[in-house]
Amino acid sequence: MSKRYQNFIGGHWVDAKSGQTFENRNPANWSELIGTFPKSGKEDVEVAVRAARVAFEKWRLVPAPRRGDIMRKVGDLMVSRKEELSRLMTREMGKVLAETRGDVQEGIDTAYYAATEGRRLFGHTVPSELENKFAMAIRIPIGVAGIVTPWNFPMAIPTWKIFPALLSGNTVVFKPASDTPATATALVEILTDAGVPEGVVNLVHGGGGDVGMSIVSHPDVDLISFTGSTGVGKRISEVASATLKRVSLELGGKNAQLVMDDAALDLALDGVLWGAFGTTGQRCTATSRLLLHEKIHDHFVEMLVNRVSLLRLGDGLKEGVEIGPCVNEGQRQTVMNVKPDHRIAKEEIFGPVLSVIKVKSLDEGIRILNDTVYGLSSSIYTSNINNAFRAIRDIHAGITYVNAPTIGAEAHLPFGGVKQTGNGHREGGWTVYDFFTEWKTVYIDYSGGLQRAQIDNYPIDNKS
């Protein structure tokens, strides 16, 4: 019998107010029902935001190192439940166990990194231009954070957002993807078991239109962190602007791997296979375009076709399977319906589809690589250090790999892109804490008298 799941609001597991539910099934075995989940709406979001707002007043006063202690416990619990979480994720969205284990490990790494940031939310002290006056800038929490996440990394991406949000002193209303609600539930259970107080994390299941946009438009939600499609990201930006919310958008990509004629071809082949077909191509950093120097083009394509024909597809829980299914039938149809007249060289597909393009030179390769509205990840394979550094300088992307594929982010480094891949914020590493905190400037004047900064401290010498 399948499990019946609930929302988590104000420290309690509750049904959607409508009483409606939706099903979550295994894409590799559609007859397997993972569970039924509450089909929530605006009314559920209202209660969750209210709970988060109340909890914020106490949570923001908890010292950051103590919030870090909770994050460390979260990491420990994730370690103890790693295999359980990995298998659940594979059943939910299809990718193979080796990848879901990596997904969970990314969350573990992010938890431990967040724990250390509890003692590293650094501010600045600077000299004042006036005597007997102290000046500094400190970080403070912002308020209620709306977190909206995709299905392709149902553990890693929520942790990239939720852990720094909590460590910074914010409270959370979390809407996970409808394709991976069980993994999200497991994450919230771990947060609760680790000691996160009631109301600090609230989980609301449901669709993007009903739940996601209700979070985005709610006047008591102070900031939004979203990962998903560029089209939805633009709509979120429009709606959030009505209340001047702070918004972080991590959107699409059309990433390319450039292979020069002096590259180690076997290494480049391993890279494009992993980059293009890992996670069934369902990554924002997936290699969607392969740019080959004309001198090695034909030989490399032959190598590629031979290796692709040997890839083993199937149920991600089975030993030896290298590529799992698309997450659902709709996604499969999107991938299968690509036609020759589609603009597949420029538009994101989010599936195991690779465009191969011949180039004559490094300059042409970089020009074609940059010829897209996206700018997330990029890769160049070359043994020429000059070419490598030119690529680093000239490629328009937030991430550039040298002699490595376009996928494989590390938790302690910034993650994000340029152009229509996002709106300039970064996740991961130290940079994400700038998004989840507000800067407050503090002046302490101990002169005992009125001092007017920037008024008459530098009088003009008229004698000259």
Task: State the pLDDT at residue 339.
Answer: 44
Q: Give me the catalytic one of 99, 250, 348, 427.
A: 250
Catalytic residue check, 250: yes
Q: Judge whether 165 and 436 are in contact, CB under 8 Å.
A: yes
Task: State the pLDDT at residue 27.
Answer: 92
Task: State the pLDDT at residue 341.
Answer: 45
The pTM of the full predicted model, rounded to 2 decimals, is 0.93
Q: The CATH number of 3-251+422-441 is which of 2.40.40.20, 3.40.605.10, 1.20.120.920, 3.40.190.10?
A: 3.40.605.10
Q: Judge whether 427 and 405 are in contact, CB under 8 Å.
A: no
- Is domain 255-402 in CATH 3.40.309.10, yes or no? yes
In terms of Cα–Cα distance, which of 331, 310, 334 is closest to 322? 310
Task: State the pLDDT at residue 334.
Answer: 64
The pLDDT profile of the chain, 464 residues, written as one tens digit per residue, is 679 999 999 999 999 999 999 999 999 999 999 999 999 999 999 999 999 999 999 999 999 999 999 999 999 999 999 999 999 999 999 999 999 999 999 999 999 999 999 999 999 999 999 999 999 999 999 999 999 999 999 999 999 999 999 999 999 999 999 999 999 999 999 999 999 999 999 999 999 999 999 999 999 999 999 999 999 999 999 999 999 999 999 999 999 999 999 999 999 999 999 999 988 878 899 999 999 999 999 999 999 999 999 999 888 888 888 887 877 777 766 665 744 345 565 667 777 889 999 999 999 999 999 999 999 999 999 999 999 999 999 999 999 999 999 998 899 999 999 999 999 999 999 999 999 999 999 999 999 999 988 766 666 666 55
Task: State the pLDDT at residue 325.
Answer: 80
For strands 133-141 and 437-445, give the pairing.
antiparallel
Q: How far apart are CA 377 and CA 407, in angstroms?
A: 8
CATH 3.40.309.10 residue ranges in the chain? Answer: 255-402
In terms of Cα–Cα distance, which of 27, 18, 20 is closest to 4? 20
Q: Give me the catalytic one of 117, 284, 348, 427.
A: 284
CATH 3.40.605.10 residue ranges in the chain? Answer: 3-251+422-441
* Amino acid of residue 22: F
